[in-house]
Structure 1
Amino acid sequence: MTEPNPVVLWSKPEAERAGTPLLVLFHGYLANEEDLMGLADYLPEDFTIASVRAPQAMGPGYTWFPLMSDADYSVESVVDSVTDVSAWLDGVSGAHSSVSLLGFSMGMAVATTLLRHRPQDFAAVVGLSGFVVPAEENPFFHDGELAQHKVPFFWGRDQADPVIDPQRIEYTHAWLNGHTALTKILYSNMGHGINMQELGHVKEFLAHTVLRGAQKA
């Protein structure tokens, strides 16, 4: 059962958020909203960061939807989860100068699904050690519109990531190339995780695509 309003951890008190660019974080499988907040210290301080908890309790944490290898996985389960996040975002995005997304592992699937549902609403998207789900012709996904818009996208991973299988990587790579303005960087000896070099690149990417882009506008 999903919650109508997700649990969200904020990097700044409400009084300090107005007019700032918003960066929304989506954690991975069996984690929670606290998992990625440690990244805040390594990202541009201009951003207000909101880390969202997945809706379904599972094991030691939460999940956004069943694993793709599970029998009860469906694209509808992904859509249901992202629909709730999209509704929450409608209530907060107006206070910010822009909205960007960052997802780790399964959270990258959430971030990309949200991007595909709202192709013109996000300044930039970051995907770390994650994947994209096949749309299976579900009308929630507006991939054709997104392919025309080409949102800046950073995709970082380890070539030897032991969690995301080659089939999903191949699909994700092809999809990102066809639908986004892709920056792809591989990191050795990182496994299924995030390292300091990658965080440095993410900080540069967000500063260049969101902050400098806003200054030029």
Structure 2
Amino acid sequence: MRAPIAEGSGYAWFANRGIGRPVPESLADGIAWLRAWLDRVAPAGRPIVLAGFSGGATFAGGVVLDDPARFAGLATLYATLPFDAGVPTTPGRLTGVPVLVAQGDADAVIPVELQARTWQYLHGDSGAQLTARRSPGGHGLTRDDVDTLAAWLTDRTG
């Protein structure tokens, strides 16, 4: 799915205050937009897994944090969760939610402190059913990442 906000030569899910730092009002508008679309095409009760890379993963994380019970899982790849952007990141917020997180040790795009905060939250306070993967590479999917994501999605969707 293409993000709705035209930005430069591409598209974005939210306005930001810097990489990985969504403007709260913009993130809330995007979440409302996606939720309205989902309500039309996939009524509640249908399992939905959100997956994204970079900004798309930050957005997907915000959507799931906003209403964790609505989703069957979250795959956040080479991104940060949208901390300090109006969605709850309280302890236990993702209890029971399957989450796949992948990060690269040499990722020079997502700020290091946001990568660390995401990793720590998901491994600790979130309560998520976590599958975690670190690679030595930078800000890009590897074949191993794709294979891990495919296996993880298969486990979620049968």
State the TM bucket, normalised to the shorter chain.
0.7 to 0.9
User: Residue 140 of structure 2 corresponds to which residue in structure 1?
Assistant: 193
Q: Which of 165, 174, 179 is the equivalent residue of 2:111?
A: 165
User: Residue 105 of structure 1 corresponds to which residue in structure 2?
Assistant: 54
Q: Among all aligned residue pairs of Structure 1 and Structure 2, give the percentage whose two residues are the same amino acid.
A: 27
Gaps of 5+ in 1: 1-51, 212-217
Could you tell which deviates more after superposition, 87-96 or 192-201? 87-96
Q: Are positions 1:208 and 2:155 aligned together? A: yes
Q: Distance in 2 between matches of 1:85 and 1:207?
A: 24
Equivalent pairs counted in the alignment come to 155
Q: Distance in 2 between matches of 1:95 and 1:192?
A: 34
Q: Distance in 1 between matches of 2:26 and 2:44?
A: 29
- Please state how far the C-alpha of 1:174 moved relative to its aligned partner: 2.2
- Please state how far the C-alpha of 1:143 moved relative to its aligned partner: 4.4
Q: Are positions 1:57 and 2:6 aligned together? A: yes
Alignment of 1:175-194 (within 5 A): 175-177=121-123, 178-179=125-126, 180-189=128-137, 191-194=138-141
Q: Distance in 2 between matches of 1:88 and 1:141?
A: 22
The answer as to whether partners of 1:120 and 1:146 remain within 8 angstroms in 2 is no
The answer as to whether partners of 2:14 and 2:59 remain within 8 angstroms in 1 is no
Q: Runs of 4+ in structure 1 displaced over 6 angstroms? A: none
The SS at the match of 1:98 is coil
Look up the equivalent residue of 1:84 and give its one-letter code: W
Q: After superposition, what is the alpha-carbon deviation per residue over 1:125-161, rounded to whole angstroms, capped at 9, x for unaligned?
A: 111111111145x3x54746634x3301011121111
Look up the equivalent residue of 1:192 and give its one-letter code: H
Q: Are positions 1:88 and 2:41 aligned together? A: no
- Please state how far the C-alpha of 1:192 moved relative to its aligned partner: 1.0
The answer as to whether partners of 2:103 and 2:115 remain within 8 angstroms in 1 is no
Q: Are positions 1:127 and 2:76 aligned together? A: yes
Structure of higher CA gyration radius: 1
Q: Distance in 2 between matches of 1:209 and 1:73?
A: 28
Q: Distance in 2 between matches of 1:65 and 1:77?
A: 5
Q: Distance in 2 between matches of 1:142 and 1:83?
A: 18
Q: Distance in 2 between matches of 1:73 and 1:155?
A: 19
The answer as to whether partners of 1:176 and 1:182 remain within 8 angstroms in 2 is yes
Q: Please give the root-mean-square deviation of Cα atoms over the aligned residues, in Å.
A: 2.3
> TM-score, normalised to structure 1's length?
0.64
> TM-score, normalised to structure 2's length?
0.86
